[in-house]
């Protein structure tokens, strides 16, 4: 199952697709409009909360957090597992899957596995989400555990770690390493995707949630003064996050609503981003230098890991300047380290190989009917 937020749902798609093409029935559970995102990826979705507007709810929660100076305390938030739990209990009871795969903040997964005695596998979506984070978010699901008569959750069959080995900090020594294969949606290639000959291109993203709540101030220099650098900037900024941006942008700056990272990263010389796990790992997969702001949630950890590995930097005092961008682009050591991390990732077992390993662990009797949230 995948919580209805891009950064928690999209990282499970590549593995889900691998289960499907390996011959297994797959249903991915999510909620609201994110169920449609799963269908667009060519997978079968189950919508566990059709009326949920997860982004609006998340924005409200984050604005309350800022208003109350709550910092990074997790609060009593289940990342929408609570809203999805009752429907998923009924669905799981009817379908009786052979396996449930969940990301670390998709804590309804262990509830379902424990209630119906179904093996569960935790698929990481970044670096720092481990036992502690799962315990904290599971506490926010305590009422659903009580409603459905579920006691202490079962142990997982396996954990899957998608971090490059030299950067991994997962607190599970026996985790299965897996290559991170980015999924960011599809696109039709057209004018503007290919980098102009002789020009350097820097891709910029603040993710889908942070600018919706806090605006685009972190990249104000690009939006106002980016022409000071002889670089082409492609900025991903959703329409719901463009309040306060200049009416006229520098001629070398373009804004797009969404970036399918595969084709864009293949043409990029650097990636500037907020520090979300998906963005961080996608840049690692592309083997390009990173400039990471690293503010809030797990982002400081992600940014510090990249800086320590030598394949990116954190802007001084959080202020992005043209000199910072030019220094990174002109540093061959950062570029070389980024390529080393890319080689590490590409040497790891692929999602289809992990599917085979999980199927073997389940046992021969389940191999023809293995599912993410599936059926016998």
Q: What is the DSSP string of 229-290?
A: SS-EEEEE--GGG-TT--SS--TTEEEES---HHHHHTT-SEEEE---HHHHHHHHHHT--E
Q: Are 270 and 289 in contact (CB under 8 A)?
A: yes
- What are the mean pLDDT values of the chain's consecutive 10-residue runs (376 residues total)? 92 96 96 96 97 92 78 78 98 96 96 97 91 92 96 94 95 94 83 78 85 77 88 86 83 84 83 93 96 90 96 90 92 98 97 96 56 39
Residue reference for tokens 């980016």: 226
Q: Give the phi and the psi of residue 161 in degrees, each rounded to 5.
A: -110, 120
- CA-nearest of 279, 157, 140 to 206 is 279
How far is the C-alpha of 370 from the C-alpha of 362, rounded, in Å?
9
Dist CA 222 CA 73 (whole Å): 31
Each as own residue / partner, the long-range contacts of residues 339-343 (CB below 8 Å, 24 or more positions apart, any chain) are: 339/287, 340/166, 340/311, 341/164, 341/166, 341/167, 341/284, 341/287, 341/309, 341/311, 342/284, 342/285, 342/286, 342/287, 343/287
How far does Cα 93 stand from its chain's mean position? Answer: 29
Q: What is the CA radius of gyration of the chain?
A: 21
CA 245 to chain centre: 26
SS3 content of the chain, % helix, strand, coil (to 5): 45, 10, 45
Beta bridge partners of 313: 291
Give how far the C-alpha of residue 159 lies from the chain's centroid of Cα atoms, to the nearest Å: 17
Distance CA 104, CA 110 (A): 10
Q: What's the pTM?
A: 0.90
CA gap 23, 140 in Å, rounded: 36
Distance in Å from the first CA to the final CA of the chain: 17
**Residue 287: partners with Cβ closer than 8 Å, 6 or more residues away:** 338, 339, 341, 342, 343
Whether the CB-CB separation of 284 and 342 falls below 8 Å is answered with: yes
């Amino acid at each position: 199952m995948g919580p209805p937020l891009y950064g928690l749902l999209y990282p499970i798609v590549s593995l889900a697709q691998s289960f499907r093409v390996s011959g297994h029935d797959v249903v991915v559970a999510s909620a609201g409009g994110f169920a449609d995102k799963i269908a667009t990826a060519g997978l079968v979705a189950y919508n566990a909360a059709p009326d949920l507007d997860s982004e609006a709810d998340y924005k409200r929660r984050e604005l309350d957090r800022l208003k109350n100076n709550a910092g990074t305390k997790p609060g009593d938030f289940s990342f929408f597992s609570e809203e999805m739990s009752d429907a998923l209990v009924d669905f799981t009871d009817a379908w009786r899957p052979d396996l449930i795969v969940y990301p670390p903040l998709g804590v309804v997964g262990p509830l379902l596995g424990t209630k119906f005695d179904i093996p569960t596998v935790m698929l990481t979506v970044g670096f720092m989400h481990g036992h502690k984070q799962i315990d904290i978010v599971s506490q926010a699901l305590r009422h659903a555990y009580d409603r459905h008569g579920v006691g202490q959750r079962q142990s997982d069959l396996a954990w899957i770690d998608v971090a490059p080995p030299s950067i991994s900090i997962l607190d599970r020594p026996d985790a299965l390493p897996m290559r991170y294969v980015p999924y960011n949606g599809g696109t039709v290639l057209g004018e503007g995707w290919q980098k102009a000959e002789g020009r350097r291109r820097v891709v910029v993203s603040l993710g889908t949630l942070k600018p919706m709540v806090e605006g685009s101030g972190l990249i104000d220099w690009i939006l106002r003064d980016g022409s000071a650098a002889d670089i082409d900037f492609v900025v991903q900024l959703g329409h719901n996050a463009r309040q306060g941006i200049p009416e006229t942008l520098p001629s070398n700056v373009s804004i797009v609503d969404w970036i399918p990272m595969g084709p864009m990263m293949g043409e990029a010389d650097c990636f500037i981003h907020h520090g979300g796990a998906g963005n961080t790992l996608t840049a690692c997969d592309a083997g390009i230098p990173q400039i990471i702001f690293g503010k809030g949630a797990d982002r400081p950890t992600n940014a510090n890991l990249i800086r320590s590995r030598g394949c990116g930097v954190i802007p001084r005092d959080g202020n992005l300047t043209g000199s910072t961008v030019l220094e990174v682009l002109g540093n061959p050591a950062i570029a070389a380290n980024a390529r080393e991390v890319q080689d590490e990732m590409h040497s790891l077992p692929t999602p289809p190989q992990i599917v085979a390993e999980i199927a073997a662990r389940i046992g021969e009797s389940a191999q023809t009917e293995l599912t993410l949230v599936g059926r016998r």
